[in-house]
């Protein structure tokens, strides 16, 4: 019984709790709903205010645009009004001009009619005078005209021959001077560096320990390098340096780059050496093509065959008497363009011929013909124009010159190769040539001293004033020049200057 009462009480308490909880949750939900409705009202009012402000801003912007448009329209109307006034003024001026022109046309017509009358009268008088002259002279008008023309022709021929002779004589006198001016102007407008090429390359290393690694056990590494590259590796007591010796610059460059990569990598053994040398050879071939393309782009030359471009790139690794062949070709090309412009020829063709003139010096095989002839054959093979081919083949007189480009290329080739510092002689041969010049001049009687100056391009000869006269000094200068020309070999030309002076010396004590 007690248990039943407890259960009933518990149930009643639970029911009461549920009712109380229900009312509490209901009050809370009503409060949240009211709070949400209040917040929503505030948000609504804020949005309405923002919308009104945006509407006002857009309306102001629209009003401003309308005002600007109206202002522009008024300006356009004013401009149209001004143009209309100007057109009206011009129309009035045009009308007045038309009236003036009409009056002038009438005046011209009246004058023409009066002149026509005068011409008719003059023609009538001329016919009468002609009849009177024919009657007096006994010659018709055609016969008199023929005699007059014959006399005028004879006189014109005489004057023309005299004028032609004068012009020819003047041309002979000025041709040499004008040619020198063209050459001098061409040289003055080109400035290049003196090129020097060696047959050895010095490879610098960080320390002498690397030398042992390069040599390898019992010299196997250095033998592998020499076999793969065809270059002699000289490892001596020179600190931190290895000398690469070969007359082929391409091989030296391949050897230098391969050795640089091997030293940086640290793995130096025969298999690795062969792998690196093969890779470097391919890089050098790609660089040769790139150099050829860059050279043609720099000079503004287009449409060359890819094989010719490759040969131009190989010029970078060739030299002639110590002068880099690519440098010489570029310089000759620029000289040819400038000289052609001075002479009124096509500078682009001249530049192209100048660049290609020594292309026969860089073949992969070894032809048994002169490089100019071989270069002409290469140009013909790769579809260069006939005037370019002739200029290439004739720049050393192996073939006959048939165009004006050929002498231009020949002259510019000589300018580039003969300028001071362009090409290098062996020191002993150079000193011997200077001594031979001085000894040759000193062998003549009356010569006191002789000096070879300006790298052997000028010989100054001092003679005794009491031994030779002024006329004899001129003869001596000519004789020395002729003997040098006949007996000696030298680049360019040698200027002989003979100095004869009288000195009076006194002493004040």
pLDDT tens digits along 163-176? 766 776 676 666 65
Among 188, 193, 420, residue whose Cα is nearest residue 328: 193
Residue labelled with tokens 């801003």: 57
Give the confidence band of 2 by pLDDT, cuts at 50, 70, 90: confident
What's the rounded mean pLDDT across residues 17-45?
Answer: 81
For 400, the token pair is 């006959």
What was the pLDDT predicted at 302? Answer: 86
Give the confidence band of 197 by pLDDT, cuts at 50, 70, 90: very low
What was the pLDDT predicted at 179? Answer: 62
Least confident range of 28-32, 142-146, 227-231, 463-467: 142-146
Strands 447-453 and 319-320: unpaired
Give the chain's radius of gyration (CA, Å).
50
What was the pLDDT predicted at 52? Answer: 87
Least confident range of 102-116, 125-139, 380-394: 125-139
* DSSP code per residue over 333-352: HHHHHHHHHHHTS-HHHHHH
What's the rounded mean pLDDT across residues 347-351?
Answer: 90
* DSSP code per residue over 480-502: HHHHHHHH---SS--EEEEEEE-
What's the rounded mean pLDDT across residues 377-387?
Answer: 89
What was the pLDDT predicted at 115? Answer: 86
What was the pLDDT predicted at 253? Answer: 80
What's the rounded mean pLDDT across residues 485-492?
Answer: 75
What's the rounded mean pLDDT across residues 379-396?
Answer: 88
Distance CA 201, CA 203 (A): 6
Least confident range of 171-185, 282-296, 479-493: 171-185
What was the pLDDT predicted at 171? Answer: 66
What's the rounded mean pLDDT across residues 478-505?
Answer: 80
Give the confidence band of 162 by pLDDT, cuts at 50, 70, 90: low
Structure-model confidence comparison of residues 228 and 50, the more confident one? 50
What was the pLDDT predicted at 193? Answer: 46
Kind and range of the H or E run holding 149 = helix 141-188
Structure-model confidence comparison of residues 319 and 184, the more confident one? 319
What was the pLDDT predicted at 422? Answer: 47
What was the pLDDT predicted at 139? Answer: 62
Give the confidence band of 286 by pLDDT, cuts at 50, 70, 90: confident
Give the angle subtended at the CA of 169 by the CAs of 164 and 174, to the nearest 5°: 120
Given a cut of 60, whether residue 420 has pLDDT beyond it is no
Structure-model confidence comparison of residues 425 and 234, the more confident one? 234
Taking residue 12's Cβ as centre, other Cβ atoms within 10 Å add up to 10
Given a cut of 60, whether residue 373 has pLDDT beyond it is yes
Strand-pair partners of 499: 462
Average pLDDT along the chain: 79
For 502, the token pair is 């009288």
What's the rounded mean pLDDT across residues 336-342?
Answer: 88
What's the rounded mean pLDDT across residues 217-221?
Answer: 77
What's the rounded mean pLDDT across residues 28-36?
Answer: 79
Highest mean pLDDT out of 76-90, 157-171, 223-237, 357-371? 76-90
What's the rounded mean pLDDT across residues 205-218?
Answer: 74
What was the pLDDT predicted at 213? Answer: 76
């Amino acid at each position: 019984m007690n248990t039943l009462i407890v259960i009933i009480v518990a149930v009643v308490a639970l029911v009461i709790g549920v009712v109380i909880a229900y009312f509490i949750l209901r009050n809370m939900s009503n409060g949240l709903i009211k709070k949400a409705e209040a917040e929503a009202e505030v948000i609504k009012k804020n949005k309405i205010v923002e919308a009104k402000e945006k509407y006002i801003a857009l309306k102001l912007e629209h009003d401003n645009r309308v005002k600007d448009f109206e202002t522009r329209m008024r300006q356009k109307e004013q401009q149209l009004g001004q143009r209309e006034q100007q057109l009206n003024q011009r129309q009035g001026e045009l009308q007045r001009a038309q009236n003036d022109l009409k009056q002038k046309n009438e005046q011209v017509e009246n004058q023409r009619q009066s002149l026509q009358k005068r011409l008719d009268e003059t023609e009538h008088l001329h016919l009468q005078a002609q009849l009177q002259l024919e009657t007096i002279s006994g010659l018709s008008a055609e016969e008199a005209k023929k005699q007059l023309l014959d006399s005028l022709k004879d006189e014109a021929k005489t004057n023309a021959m005299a004028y032609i002779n004068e012009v020819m004589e003047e041309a002979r006198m000025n041709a040499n001077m004008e040619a020198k001016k063209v050459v001098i102007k061409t040289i003055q407008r080109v400035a290049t560096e003196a090129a020097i090429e060696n047959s050895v390359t010095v490879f610098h290393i960080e320390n002498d320990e690397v030398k042992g690694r390069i040599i390898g056990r019992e010299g196997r590494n250095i033998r592998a390098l020499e076999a793969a590259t065809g270059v002699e590796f000289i490892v001596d007591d020179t600190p931190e340096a290895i000398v690469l010796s070969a007359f082929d610059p391409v091989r030296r460059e391949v050897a230098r780059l391969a050795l640089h990569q091997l030293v940086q990598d640290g793995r130096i053994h025969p298999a690795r050496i062969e792998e690196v040398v093969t890779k470097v050879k391919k890089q050098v071939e790609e660089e040769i093509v790139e150099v050829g393309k860059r050279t043609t782009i720099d000079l503004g030359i287009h449409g060359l065959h890819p094989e010719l471009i490759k040969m131009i790139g190989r010029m970078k690794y060739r030299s002639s008497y110590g002068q880099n062949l690519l440098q010489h070709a570029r310089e000759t090309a620029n000289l040819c363009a400038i000289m052609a412009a001075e002479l009124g020829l096509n500078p682009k063709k001249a530049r192209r011929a100048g660049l290609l003139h020594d292309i026969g010096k860089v073949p992969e095989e070894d032809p048994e013909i002169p490089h100019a002839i071989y270069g002409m054959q290469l140009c013909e093979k790769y579809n260069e124009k006939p005037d370019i081919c002739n200029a290439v083949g004739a720049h050393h007189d192996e073939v006959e010159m048939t165009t004006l480009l050929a002498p231009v290329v020949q002259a510019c080739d000589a300018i580039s190769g003969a300028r001071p510092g362009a090409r290098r002689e062996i020191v002993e041969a150079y000193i011997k040539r200077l001594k031979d010049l001085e000894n040759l001049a000193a062998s003549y009687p009356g010569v006191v001293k002789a000096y070879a100056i300006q790298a052997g391009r000028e010989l100054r000869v001092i003679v005794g004033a009491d031994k030779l006269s002024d006329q004899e000094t001129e003869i001596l200068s000519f004789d020395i020049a002729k003997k040098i020309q006949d007996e000696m070999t030298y680049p360019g030309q040698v200027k002989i200057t003979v100095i004869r002076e009288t000195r009076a010396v006194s002493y004040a004590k």
